[in-house]
């Protein structure tokens, strides 16, 4: 127990030691330094996670499809991702002749920067939040909605009709699935009466909200899969229809940023689901809180990959039908049932 407690408090002790280097540990310079260190650590986590998840997804795809997957480079093919990254770094950076060069170049940066900002408000463990915002849920939803604009910028600026069509699909799909996703979180907000993610985790000390909000959890997972453009909802990149969607004209490192951004957004979405529905870093005292958090995130990522390599891509009309005529009514129903449950509970407690 003492060892687990020490591991739980280790990040906070390290933060206190760094702050102790300043004359005033609570000064603005100390706060800025801690925020900068936190951002750098998040970037490192995103890059390492993406490299590991690419190999893991190939292994899961091989397992699910009964084929070997990468098995040549390194032990059992684990160095394949490193070779792919080096290959991307060596490719020529091409920009179409009539493209909007400024928008074409900054669109990949938007995609990669969004998960960095969203992960800053996620509580990874006890006192392990880079920025503890009172309106954390609002901030997360507001920042992630920018990814729609980034994909549209990539498609429009490429001066390619297939890229433009992929960008317009991005707008239609992501806006459609954002609405039930937002409504799926309202049930938890109604139960906790707060938008602060740390307080939402603390409210799950005895019972994770997945048991109180099972319908909302399922809706969130489905919408999250669509928001990060993963199969069976990867209509933005339907190769047999629109080549590679808004990424058609991208090469080298810029295409790599889009690819990296997909996995970074997957990590961020699973981190939010863990925080809101699975109790965050709460768990039995056999492991430190931050270990429980990443185990839960890893489980959700595995489920996402399993779904991707199990179900075929659906048609665009079926995609929109699922969002507007199935998930949205179910999300509204969940809000109604949650409000009714809270009202009955207050009547019982008041009586």
**pLDDT per residue as tens digits for the range 164-216:** 888 888 888 889 999 999 999 999 999 999 999 999 999 998 999 999 999 99
Q: Which residue has the tokens 């993963």?
A: 230
pLDDT beyond 70 at 35? yes
Question: What average pLDDT does range 140-158 have in this prediction?
Answer: 88
Task: Tell me the pTM.
Answer: 0.91
Q: pLDDT confidence of 327, banded at 50, 70, 90?
A: very high
Q: How far apart, in whole angstroms, are the C-alpha atoms of residue 162 and residue 243? A: 7
Burial tier of 351 (Cβ tally within 10 Å: 0-12, 13-18, 19+): exposed
d(CA 112, CA 42): 12
Q: What is the pLDDT of residue 83?
A: 84
Q: How does pLDDT run across 263-306, given as a tens digit for each residue? A: 899 999 999 999 999 999 998 878 888 899 999 999 999 999 99
Cα angle value 96/97/101 (rounded, 5°): 70
Neighbours of 73 (CB within 10 A): 14
Return the pLDDT at 247.
82
Q: Which H or E element spans position 58?
A: helix 28-65
Provide mean pLDDT across the span 249-257.
85
Distance (Å, rounded) from C-alpha 148 to C-alpha 151?
A: 5
pLDDT of 5 higher than 80 = no
The whole-chain average pLDDT of the chain stands at 87
Which pLDDT score, from 0 to 100, does residue 89 have? 80
Distance in angstroms between the alpha carbons of the first and the last residue of the chain: 41
> What confidence category does residue 239 fall into, taking pLDDT thresholds of 50, 70 and 90?
low
* Residue 1 binned pLDDT confidence (cut-offs 50, 70, 90): low
Residue appearing with tokens 């603005």: 28
Question: How many CB atoms sit inside 10 A of residue 108's CB?
Answer: 23
Contacts of 4 (CB under 8 A, 6+ apart): 285, 286, 287, 288
Residue-level pLDDT at 6: 75
Give the SS3 label for residue 99: coil
Model pLDDT, residue 240: 54
Share of the chain above pLDDT 90, in %: 33
Q: Is the pLDDT of residue 87 over 80?
A: yes
Largest CA distance in the chain: 73
Residue 12's nearest CA partner among 32, 43, 40, 34 is 34
Q: Give the Cα separation of 243 and 237 in Å (integer).
A: 7
3-state secondary structure of 238: coil
Which of 270, 253, 262, 327 has the alpha carbon at shortest distance from 124?
270
CA 105 to chain centre: 23
Q: Write the CA distances from 349 to 49, 190, 286, 336, 346, integer angstroms.
A: 46, 17, 35, 20, 5
Return the percentage of the chain with pLDDT > 70, whole number: 97
The reported pLDDT for the residue numbered 236 is 67
Across 234-260, average pLDDT: 75
- Whether 132 shows a pLDDT value over 90: the answer reads no
């Amino acid at each position: 127990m003492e060892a687990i407690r020490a591991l739980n408090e280790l990040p906070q002790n390290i933060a206190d030691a760094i702050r102790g280097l300043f004359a005033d540990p609570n000064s603005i310079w100390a706060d800025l330094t801690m925020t900068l260190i936190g951002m750098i650590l998040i970037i490192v986590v995103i890059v390492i996670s993406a490299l590991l998840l690419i190999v893991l997804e190939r292994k899961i795809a091989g397992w699910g499809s009964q084929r070997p997957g990468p098995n040549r480079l390194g032990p059992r093919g684990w160095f394949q991702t490193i070779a792919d990254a080096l290959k991307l770094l060596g490719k020529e950076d091409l920009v179409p002749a009539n493209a909007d060069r400024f928008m074409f170049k900054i669109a990949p940066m938007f995609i990669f920067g969004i998960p960095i900002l969203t992960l800053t408000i996620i509580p990874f463990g006890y006192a392990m939040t880079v920025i503890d915002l009172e309106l954390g849920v609002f901030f997360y939803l507001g920042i992630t909605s920018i990814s729609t604009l980034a994909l549209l910028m990539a498609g429009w600026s490429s001066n390619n009709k297939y890229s433009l069509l992929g960008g317009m699909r991005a707008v239609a799909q992501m806006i459609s699935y954002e609405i039930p996703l937002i409504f799926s979180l309202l049930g938890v907000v109604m139960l906790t009466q707060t938008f602060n993610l740390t307080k939402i985790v603390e409210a799950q000390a005895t019972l994770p909200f997945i048991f109180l909000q099972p319908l909302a959890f399922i809706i969130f997972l489905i919408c999250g899969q669509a928001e990060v453009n993963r199969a069976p909802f990867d209509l933005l990149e339907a190769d047999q229809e629109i080549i590679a969607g808004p990424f058609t004209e991208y090469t080298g490192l810029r295409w790599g940023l889009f690819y990296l951004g997909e996995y970074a957004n997957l990590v961020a979405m699973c981190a939010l689901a863990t925080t809101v529905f699975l109790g965050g870093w709460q768990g039995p005292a056999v492991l430190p809180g931050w270990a429980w958090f990443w185990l839960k995130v890893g489980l959700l990522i595995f489920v996402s990959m399993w779904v991707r390599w199990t179900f075929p891509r659906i048609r665009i009309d079926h995609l929109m039908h699922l969002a507007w005529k199935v998930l949205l009514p179910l999300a509204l129903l969940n809000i109604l049932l949650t409000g009714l449950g809270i009202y009955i509970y207050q009547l019982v407690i008041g009586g």
